[in-house]
Amino acid sequence: MIQALTLGNKTFNSNLICGPLAGVSCAPFRRLIWRYSQPAFTCTEMVSCKTLLAKPGEAQRRFIEKAPDEGPLCFQLAASDPLELGEAVKRVTDYGADLIDLNCGCPVKKIRVKGAGSKLLTDPTKLYQLIMAMKQNTHVPVSVKIRVEGKSGDKFNAEVAQAVSDAGADFLIVHGRHWTEHYETPCCYDDIQFFVEQMKIPVIGNGDIKDLETLRKMFATGCAGVMISRATVGQPWLVAKLTAELNQQAYALPALPEIGALYIEHVTGLIDLLKHERFAVIQARQFAKYYGRFLANKTAFCEAMNSCEDFANFKALCQQYFPATS
Ligand X SMILES: Cc1cc2nc3c(=O)[nH]c(=O)nc-3n(C[C@H](O)[C@H](O)[C@H](O)COP(=O)(O)O)c2cc1C
- Pick the closer one to ligand X by CB: 26 or 317: 26
The number of CA neighbours under 13 Å toward the Cβ of 105 is 25
HEC per residue, the chain: CCCCEEECCEEECCCEEECCCCCCCCHHHHHHHHHHCCCCCEEEEEEEHHHHHCCCCHHHHHHHCCCCCCCCEEEEEECCCHHHHHHHHHHHHHCCCCEEEEEECCCCHHHHCCCCHHHHHHCHHHHHHHHHHHHHCCCCCEEEEEECCCCCCCHHHHHHHHHHHHHCCCEEEEECCCCCCCCCCCCCHHHHHHHHHHCCCCEEEECCCCCHHHHHHHHCCCCCEEEECHHHCCCCCHHHHHHHHHCCCCCCCCCHHHHHHHHHHHHHHHHHHHCCHHHHHHHHHHHHHHHHHHCCCHHHHHHHHHCCCCHHHHHHHHHHHCCCCC
- Pick the closer one to ligand X by CB: 82 or 105: 105
- For residue 106, indicate whether it is catalytic: yes
- Give the residues lining the site for ligand X (CB under 6 A): 19-23, 45-46, 76, 103, 105, 145, 175, 206-209, 228-231
User: Smallest distance from the beta carbon of 185 to ligand X, in angstroms?
Assistant: 11
User: Smallest distance from the beta carbon of 134 to ligand X, in angstroms?
Assistant: 15
CA angle 208/245/76 to nearest 5° reads 40
User: Smallest distance from the beta carbon of 324 to ligand X, in angstroms?
Assistant: 30
User: Smallest distance from the beta carbon of 232 to ligand X, in angstroms?
Assistant: 8
- Pick the closer one to ligand X by CB: 108 or 256: 108
- Pick the closer one to ligand X by CB: 137 or 232: 232
- Pick the closer one to ligand X by CB: 14 or 103: 103
User: Smallest distance from the beta carbon of 255 to ligand X, in angstroms?
Assistant: 25
- Pick the closer one to ligand X by CB: 224 or 315: 224
Contacts of 92 (CB under 8 A, 6+ apart): 52, 64, 75, 77, 100, 138
- Pick the closer one to ligand X by CB: 92 or 325: 92
Q: Which of 104, 106, 223, 308 is catalytic?
A: 106
The distance in angstroms from the start CA to the end CA of the chain is 38
User: Smallest distance from the beta carbon of 37 to ligand X, in angstroms?
Assistant: 14
User: Smallest distance from the beta carbon of 267 to ligand X, in angstroms?
Assistant: 16
The number of CA neighbours under 13 Å toward the Cβ of 240 is 14
What amino acid positions are annotated as catalytic residues? 106
